Amino acid sequence: MSDLIAPFFDRLSRVGGPVLTDISGAARREVAGADLNDRLDRLAGMLAEAGARPGAPVVALFDNTLESALTLLAAMRHGFTLALQPAGTDVEDLNRLQGEIGARALVNATPQPVEGATRIRLEDLSARTPVAPSPVPPGTPFTITFTSGSTGAPKGIVHGAESFLACGEAFNRQTGITGHDRFLNVMPMFYMAGIFNGILAPLMAGAPVVIAEGFNTVTAMRFWPTLAAERITALWLSPTMLSLVSRLDRTAKRVPPAMRRLFVGTGAMAASDAEQFHRTYGLPPLQSYGLSELLYVSVDSAEAPNFGTAGYPLDGVALTGGADAPLSITSPYGFLGYLVDGVLQAHDGPFLTSDLAQVDESGRLSILGRADDIILRGGVNVNPVDIEAALSPFMRGRAYCVTGLRDATLGQKVVLVTEGAGLDDAAFAEAQKIVRSHPGRAQLDAAAQVTKLPVGPTGKIRRAALRAQLEGGGA
């Protein structure tokens, strides 16, 4: 195994008590640190029987379950490559993906049976014979995940285990996460934030993880009691999730005593929302910035948070670019490349993002928006993120988005899109007034309404899909 993988599993084997706990279903299930490697080696034998081979892809259906976490870890330990798909994916789509990438097996780590897939169940592992792991060469593909589609068509992104472990170690060092912490994972586990933020990075510190049902309105209602009951010290939420757990909180609005770190990722958190949460709960939500291709890039400081920024880059990460040019990032935690027509197209060197950014004299990073989301209105560049931030207090938690649509006179017009009922004339006029008073030359030209804003797995609005929907006449 590589120099990072073997120590990782040795560290987990020495965790006292449960290293993984599953509260997503009716019964509480746990795997102790001392038993973990045995379970993983038995699961590896099961995967091998299904057709898995080191370095060859396996299509894996994941949900927020103990089986998904164990399958992920078994693949890392034994050099298997997992192409992750969400629970509920159509069988035809699974078979198509299997053919496109040359996958040797289809495995199912979700509670529901899937035709043609080998089902992974914790209770079946004791009857399996453990298989000893062989060395995993550095650069062996470990995961194939697919982007959320928030900015265009999803892409297959290939990572080796080393990037996850090295990045997790750097993040834990910068944020003070240790083996004394205890994480709750509500992020979707077929998605990068669910497997890395919620599983691999905490485990890299030796911190036990509690796996809960994927985030939804029901879990939001019992979010705060769950934190207290499970003695959670740290977790990740998206900005949408943070807003929901705040709005639906029927407790005394006090953070449980053990809770000390709340990280926010997968999208931009408005500074006003962060400030309001901090005032209410006394705990600063720490914005991070990352990419599926590069994992964590930066994170805000718990000791001196600066809301509205994405904090400081991790060790080894270098940033270039500015407000007028897309951000370029050099990172030691980068991906191996994109999977194109079943073939890995290797990536090397700096990664050019579509994000506009600013780095101050202290090295702190602020994300200003995406270059491909900038609206060119009458020759003036309008950043929709700035307008959305200005409107945040006025919209009072309502789901909305600002986008640009083609216009014969202006080139592009600036449109405020709301979910559900549209704005009445008085409300839209007030929104226009707020935008006109904002620094710059932005204006709102029109309002639109859609039944449901298109969103990714963590609630991030898929802007490209929204523009296509509006330009196609959909609502």
Mean pLDDT of 93-105: 93
Residue 457 pLDDT:
87
The CA distance from 340 to 336, in Å, is: 12
The CATH code of the domain at 374-471 is: 3.30.300.30
- Residue-wise pLDDT tens digits, 207-243: 999 999 999 999 999 999 999 999 999 999 999 999 9
The CA distance from 8 to 305, in Å, is: 30
Give me the residue label for tokens 């060197």: 349
Residue 152 pLDDT:
47
Given a cut of 80, whether residue 26 has pLDDT beyond it is: yes
Q: 5-369: which CATH topology?
A: Rossmann fold (3.40.50)
Q: Is-same-fold flag (5-369; 374-471)?
A: no
Residue 397 pLDDT:
82
Of the pLDDT bands very low, low, confident and very high (cuts 50, 70, 90), residue 315 is very high
The CA distance from 297 to 334, in Å, is: 10
The CA distance from 317 to 308, in Å, is: 20
Give me the residue label for tokens 């649509």: 405
291-108-184-28 Cα dihedral, nearest 10 degrees: 180
Share of the chain above pLDDT 70, in %: 97
Mean pLDDT of 331-335: 98
Residue 411 pLDDT:
82
- Residue-wise pLDDT tens digits, 130-160: 999 999 999 999 999 986 544 444 579 999 9
- Please, where are the H alpha helices in 207-289? 217-221, 223-229, 239-247, 271-281
Residue 2 pLDDT:
61
- Residue-wise pLDDT tens digits, 375-385: 988 777 888 98
The CA distance from 325 to 369, in Å, is: 11
- Residue-wise pLDDT tens digits, 342-354: 889 999 999 999 9
DSSP result, 283-309: --EEEEEEETTTEEEEE--SSS--TTS
- Minimal CA–CA distance to 277: which of 303, 253, 256? 253
Strands (E), 111-173: 118-119, 141-146, 156-160
DSSP 8-state secondary structure symbol assigned to residue 269? P
Residue 150 pLDDT:
45
Residue 386 pLDDT:
87
Which of 109-123, 311-325, 456-470 has maximum average pLDDT?
109-123
The region, left, alpha or beta by phi > 0 then psi within -120 to 50, assigned to residue 17 is: left
Question: 352, 328 in Cβ contact below 8 A?
Answer: yes
Residue 151 pLDDT:
44
Residue 71 pLDDT:
99
What residue spans define the domains of the chain? 5-369, 374-471
Long-range contacts of 285-290 (CB under 8 A, 24+ apart): 285/237, 285/242, 286/175, 286/261, 286/262, 286/311, 287/311, 288/263, 288/264, 289/265, 289/365, 289/367, 290/265
- Residue-wise pLDDT tens digits, 434-475: 999 887 778 999 999 999 999 988 888 999 899 999 988 655
Could you tell me which residue, 44 or 3, shows the higher pLDDT? 44
